[in-house]
Amino acid sequence: MKQAKETGRTCAYRYCENTFEGRSDKVFCSDQCRNHARRDQLKTEKWNAPAFYLKISEIIKHNHKILKHLFDDKGDNTVITSFLLRDSGFNFEFHTRILTTSKGIYRFCFDYGWLELENGKILIVKNDRMVEI
């Protein structure tokens, strides 16, 4: 362990015991310690994230991919069956926004969305306003 000067501060990286002097807003003794600390922090954040964070974002991204693919393939007014959508792995439970109109309730996964029509039909739409923050 190194001798700490009275005026020196101890490096904020938990595995480092160096003391240092310098600007008062400096908290690490070196760039290396700052980088290590940052890496540790990111690891901790990832570790603490509940499993559903990742799982649900994967579902929504997958839904988005399917909607985008169908829309890009067939264009405006694409109507498919809910059976086909479900069959392609689409999960109706998860979406990012809801738009209520006189035609019904649109559900969006980012900029692509769907509206349930009668007889098990689904209308696929694109709306850039749904990703404006």
**Minimum distance of Zn ion from residue 2's CB (angstroms):** 10
**Minimum distance of Zn ion from residue 44's CB (angstroms):** 18
Would you give the DSSP letter of residue 4?
P
**CB-wise, 11 or 66, nearer to Zn ion?**
11
Q: Return the residues of window 9-38 that contact Zn ion according to CB under 5 A.
A: 11, 13, 16, 18, 29, 33
CA 20/CA 4 separation, integer angstroms = 9
Q: Return the residues of window 41-100 that contact Zn ion according to CB under 5 A.
A: none
**CB-wise, 11 or 125, nearer to Zn ion?**
11
Number of residues that bind Zn ion (CB under 5 A): 6
* β-pair type (104-109, 112-116): antiparallel
CA-based torsion, 33, 38, 44, 46: positive or negative = negative
CA 24/CA 6 separation, integer angstroms = 15
**Minimum distance of Zn ion from residue 35's CB (angstroms):** 10
Q: Report the C-alpha dihedral over residues 66, 69, 71, 74, rounded to 10 degrees.
A: -130
**CB-wise, 5 or 69, nearer to Zn ion?**
5
**Minimum distance of Zn ion from residue 52's CB (angstroms):** 36
CA 95/CA 108 separation, integer angstroms = 6
**CB-wise, 29 or 109, nearer to Zn ion?**
29
- Residues forming the site for Zn ion (CB under 5 A): 11, 13, 16, 18, 29, 33
